[in-house]
């Protein structure tokens, strides 16, 4: 039979797991950019120096922030 202490520890472990699962996904964003210079400016404003261009279309680019 589980006591109240077991429930507290189980709940604590579950909350730590959920907090870690929510923090690991880095955002992927769409930015409007007609030129490479605009793309750099918008990506830098949103992600800083650490970003990756995933796809580039006519006037929209999808970027991923590599660090928070």
Q: What integer pLDDT is reported at residue 22 of this predicted model?
A: 64
Q: What residues does each domain of the chain span? A: 26-68
18 bridge partner residues: none
**Higher-scoring residue by pLDDT: 18, 26:** 18
Interatomic CA distance for residues 6 and 13, integer angstroms: 11
Q: In this predicted structure, what is the pLDDT of residue 52?
A: 92
Identify the pLDDT of residue 21: 67
- Residue 2 has what pLDDT? 65
**pLDDT beyond 60 at 64:** yes
Q: Angle CA(5)–CA(8)–CA(13) in degrees, nearest 5?
A: 130
> CA nearest 68: which of 39, 16, 27, 18?
27
Supply the mean pLDDT for the chain.
Answer: 84
Whether the per-residue pLDDT at 3 is higher than 80: the answer is no
């Amino acid at each position: 039979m589980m006591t109240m202490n077991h429930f507290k520890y189980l709940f604590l472990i579950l909350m730590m797991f959920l907090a870690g699962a929510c923090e690991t996904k880095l955002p992927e964003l769409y930015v409007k950019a007609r030129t490479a210079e605009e793309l750099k400016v918008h990506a830098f404003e949103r992600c800083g120096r650490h970003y990756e261009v995933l796809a580039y279309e006519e006037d929209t680019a999808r970027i991923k922030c590599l660090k928070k």
